[in-house]
Chains A and B, each alone.
Chain A
Amino acid sequence: MAEAVKTSDAPQEVLLHVEGLKKYFPIRRGVFQRHVGDVKAVDDVSFDVYRGETLGLVGESGCGKTTTGRTIIRIYEPTAGHVIFKDQDLAALRANEMREMRRSMQMIFQDPYASLNPRMSVLKIVGEPLEVFHLANKEERRERVAHLLQLVGLNPDFMVRYPHEFSGGQRQRIGLARSLALNPDLIICDEPISALDVSIQAQVVNLLEDLQQELGLTYIFIAHDLSMVRHISDRVAVMYLGKIVELTDRDTLYAKPLHPYTQALLSAIPVPDPVIEETRQRILLEGDLPSPANPPKGCNFSTRCPQVQDICEQEEPPFIEVEPGHLCACHFVKPAT
């Protein structure tokens, strides 16, 4: 398998800069809908995405990956923070300005069965972005849709068909074609393969990679386990309970994980080599993900961390650059000075 080697020391253009992003969902109770608390789905997240790369965003289900993606693209209104994209703070844009920005930033969704309108033909679905931005007349739209379908490996003749006639993988391709219609720079892929058969997953990942090469796309690729993003990511961010706990390039992360949570996640991936698999040490995490409505004091991971100390339950560890390009939030991981 030939993997493109990307040099990390070449100057890279920051396409998306996320800073201090928070998304709290208010919890309301009672007749008067009194505000009694918040689900801190995303709690102070910062990272950069470089042009042309794939940033993997990994974490257990419920840790806030989807919310992060949706808040960046303003499906959800951010509670706090900045999302700088093409010199604009998306978090501060008005709705109609944001609408314009959507042409450069797109999203594909996790559930291929819910992400296509069952009452619209493929032509209508994939052509809708062109229609609402008045980018093409009917004839041109047909041509463009045919081209897009070809691009994602679907027969253009099927544009007259309806979503129910397609399999999950094919639907995901249709969703991809829709998101490509406006020629975006960045695509947020929210677990695009998690709902697919294992045999189909690789095909879709390969398609995403080919399109990235061909069209110069940048991806944020969300997944719930590290094995899924290993192949496609250039860098990986590991999320836990609304926060990023570790962020570095892929090879470093898999070779030398620093955060105990990352180590636990990595240890859970089966190794294809039976000999190593036999002796592999697994770090089992105890307990469940705490509720984001009531996160633990101090470090969010302190309730499950095998290396927990007193300080972890008192103070929240800062998210710091431990080595160049390697960030981590743990009291016991210090920059090498």
Chain B
Amino acid sequence: MTAQEMPMPTLAPRTRRPPNWLEAWLGHDVYRTVKGLVTNPMSVAGMILLGLFIFIAAAAPMLAPPLPNADPYNIPRDGYGDVPKSPGTEWKSRQPPLPFWWKAVTGKDQWVHLMGTASGQWDIYYGVIWGTRTALFAGLTITLCGVLIGVTIGTLSAFYGGWVDMVFMRITDLFMAFPFLLTAMTLSAVLTPRLGKGLLAPMIALIVFSWTGFARLLRSDILSLREREYVLAARVIGVKDTRIMFRHILPNAIFPTLVLASMRIGSYAITFAGLSFMGIGAEVGFADWGQLLSFARDWMTQLREYWYIVMYPGVTLVLFVLSWNLVGDALRDVLDPRMQGSR
């Protein structure tokens, strides 16, 4: 059969839908991901919650103005008494400046303890508001560092294979062999006297044990993608190994790792809070949810009366974790390879 006999028709693509400008601008994958996220009610709920937390973190100085010349991350305290005061109690001593909206909303000149005080008269409201920054900072930083280390190790391991892979994976196994919380606690406790009480020790402790999951996941995704036909095709047309890795494999292998990361942010924030709760995290009085919860320790038997010392920071922490998990779950669904047929 020759070309004259059967003229080749010029074929049109299957979908006639013109690429919409947003898709053109974002690129197909990002567009599809974003679209998947905004059409899923769970993820919308998660993103609204998350948006709220980001707003609170950004607007902290307006929501809870700190005392002049004081470190805003130090929770202001109203005296030194042991017994918690209930929400709505008026500030007596060292009252921070009134936020501008307070008068507009209530018509009063007097600042109150919106969420009450914990034992030691630490203001719970200030702790919750400024603690949002701490939670976001700790969760994001720990995850980001963990992902960076994990991605580096996973990529090197899969790229070089052989003994490099062997060594890296045995190290990973070693780090995974310990129970995460226990070792992180121990390391944080060991580091705290050396680095001083503060955010650094618990964060380093968590980072050290956080990267293993990312490294393993990425490595196995790279290894399976390496046998995909488009990667073989790239080799056949003479693309060099490093370019194959960065152009063809990593961009397609990284998404599950990022999804895992988004789901881990919440849990690192809660673990970090846990370390603070146990006193091997942030210093006393630092705006941190775990820290706040630890003030409730002496009143556990009387929570019927002093519910607010647990309720406010506790619920905030749970919502924070929930928001990341909702977004992460939705991301996973959108990026699930089995859903790729719907592209």
A182 in complex: contacting residue of B5, B230, B234, B237, CB < 8 Å: B237
Question: Within the assembled complex, what's the spacing in Å between the Cα atoms of A165 and B18?
Answer: 11
Question: Within the assembled complex, what's the spacing in Å between the Cα atoms of A270 and B240?
Answer: 46
Question: Within the assembled complex, what's the spacing in Å between the Cα atoms of A304 and B228?
Answer: 34
The 8 A CB mask of B46-75 against A (1 = contact, 0 = none) is: 000000000000000000000000000000
A102-B236, A117-B234, A155-B10 given; A214·B28 CB < 8 A: no
The reply to whether B237 and A161 form a contact with Cβ atoms under 8 Å apart is: no
Question: Within the assembled complex, what's the spacing in Å between the Cα atoms of A99 and B247?
Answer: 18
Q: How many A-B residue pairs have CB under 8 A?
A: 108
The reply to whether A129 and B238 form a contact with Cβ atoms under 8 Å apart is: yes
The reply to whether A114 and B5 form a contact with Cβ atoms under 8 Å apart is: no
The reply to whether A128 and B229 form a contact with Cβ atoms under 8 Å apart is: no
B35 at the interface (CB under 8 A from A): no
A107-B236, A111-B229, A181-B237 given; A206·B6 CB < 8 A: yes
The reply to whether B8 and A179 form a contact with Cβ atoms under 8 Å apart is: no
The reply to whether B229 and A109 form a contact with Cβ atoms under 8 Å apart is: yes
A114-B229, A164-B343, A165-B14 given; A2·B5 CB < 8 A: yes
The reply to whether A110 and B229 form a contact with Cβ atoms under 8 Å apart is: yes
The 8 A CB mask of A166-210 against B (1 = contact, 0 = none) is: 110110010100110110000000000000000000010011011
B140 at the interface (CB under 8 A from A): no
A2-B5, A102-B238, A213-B3 given; A117·B252 CB < 8 A: yes
Residues of A within 8 A of B6 (CB): 206
Tell me, rounded to whole Å, the shortest Cβ–Cβ distance linking B180 to chain A.
25
* A231 nearest CB neighbor, chain B only: B1
A106-B236, A117-B230, A132-B238 given; A170·B11 CB < 8 A: yes
A17 at the interface (CB under 8 A from B): no
A167 in complex: contacting residue of B1, B14, B19, B343, CB < 8 Å: B14
The 8 A CB mask of B1-42 against A (1 = contact, 0 = none) is: 111011011111111000100000000110000000000000
Question: Within the assembled complex, what's the spacing in Å between the Cα atoms of A206 and B238?
Answer: 28
Residues of A within 8 A of B236 (CB): 73, 75, 102, 106-107, 179
Residues of A within 8 A of B228 (CB): 114
The reply to whether B232 and A75 form a contact with Cβ atoms under 8 Å apart is: yes
A155-B12, A161-B19, A170-B14 given; A132·B2 CB < 8 A: no
Most chain A beta-carbon neighbours within 10 Å: one of B228, B237, B247, B343: B237
A1 at the interface (CB under 8 A from B): yes
B233 at the interface (CB under 8 A from A): yes
B248 at the interface (CB under 8 A from A): yes
A154 at the interface (CB under 8 A from B): yes
Residues of A within 8 A of B237 (CB): 102, 106, 128-129, 132, 178-179, 181-182
The reply to whether B8 and A210 form a contact with Cβ atoms under 8 Å apart is: yes
Residues of B within 8 A of A128 (CB): 234, 237, 239
Residues of A within 8 A of B13 (CB): 158, 161, 165-166, 170
A49 at the interface (CB under 8 A from B): no
Question: Within the assembled complex, what's the spacing in Å between the Cα atoms of A129 and B230?
Answer: 13
The 8 A CB mask of A58-75 against B (1 = contact, 0 = none) is: 000000000000100101
A252 at the interface (CB under 8 A from B): no
Query: Could you tell me the dominant secondary structure of chain B's interface residues?
Result: loop
Residues of B within 8 A of A319 (CB): none
Tell me, rounded to whole Å, the shortest Cβ–Cβ distance linking A206 to chain B.
5
Count residues on chain A whose CB falls below 8 Å from chain B CBs. Answer: 52
B238 in complex: contacting residue of A115, A116, A133, CB < 8 Å: A133
A26 at the interface (CB under 8 A from B): no
B297 at the interface (CB under 8 A from A): no
A94 at the interface (CB under 8 A from B): no
A119 at the interface (CB under 8 A from B): yes
Which chain B residues numbered 175 to 190 have a C-beta less than 8 Å away from chain A? none
Tell me, rounded to whole Å, the shortest Cβ–Cβ distance linking B131 to chain A.
39
* A164 nearest CB neighbor, chain B only: B343
* B230 nearest CB neighbor, chain A only: A117
Question: Within the assembled complex, what's the spacing in Å between the Cα atoms of A107 and B238?
Answer: 12
Most chain A beta-carbon neighbours within 10 Å: one of B5, B9, B229, B251: B229
Which chain A residues numbered 101 to 127 have a C-beta less than 8 Å away from chain B? 102-103, 106-107, 109-111, 114-120
The reply to whether B252 and A118 form a contact with Cβ atoms under 8 Å apart is: yes
Residues of A within 8 A of B103 (CB): none
* B343 nearest CB neighbor, chain A only: A164
Question: Within the assembled complex, what's the spacing in Å between the Cα atoms of A210 and B6?
Answer: 10
B92 at the interface (CB under 8 A from A): no
The reply to whether B233 and A109 form a contact with Cβ atoms under 8 Å apart is: yes
Question: Within the assembled complex, what's the spacing in Å between the Cα atoms of A158 and B15?
Answer: 11
Residues of A within 8 A of B29 (CB): 118-119
Question: Within the assembled complex, what's the spacing in Å between the Cα atoms of A223 and B17?
Answer: 35
Residues of A within 8 A of B238 (CB): 99-100, 102-103, 129, 132-133, 182
A162 at the interface (CB under 8 A from B): yes
Residues of B within 8 A of A203 (CB): 8
Residues of A within 8 A of B239 (CB): 128, 132
Residues of B within 8 A of A103 (CB): 238
* A100 nearest CB neighbor, chain B only: B238
Interface residues of B (CB under 8 A from A): 1-3, 5-6, 8-15, 19, 28-29, 228-230, 232-240, 243, 247-248, 251-252, 340, 343
20 residue pairs A–B, Cβ–Cβ below 8 Å:
A1-B1, A70-B232, A73-B236, A75-B235, A106-B236, A117-B252, A118-B29, A118-B340, A119-B252, A128-B234, A129-B238, A132-B237, A132-B243, A150-B10, A153-B10, A154-B10, A164-B28, A179-B236, A203-B8, A210-B2
Across the A-B interface, the 8 shortest Cβ-Cβ residue pairs = A153-B8, A115-B229, A129-B237, A114-B229, A109-B229, A117-B230, A102-B238, A164-B343
Supply 15 further A-B pairs (C-beta < 8 A) apart from A117-B234, A128-B237, A164-B343.
Answer: A2-B2, A73-B236, A75-B232, A100-B238, A102-B236, A106-B236, A110-B229, A118-B29, A118-B340, A119-B28, A155-B10, A161-B13, A164-B28, A165-B14, A206-B1
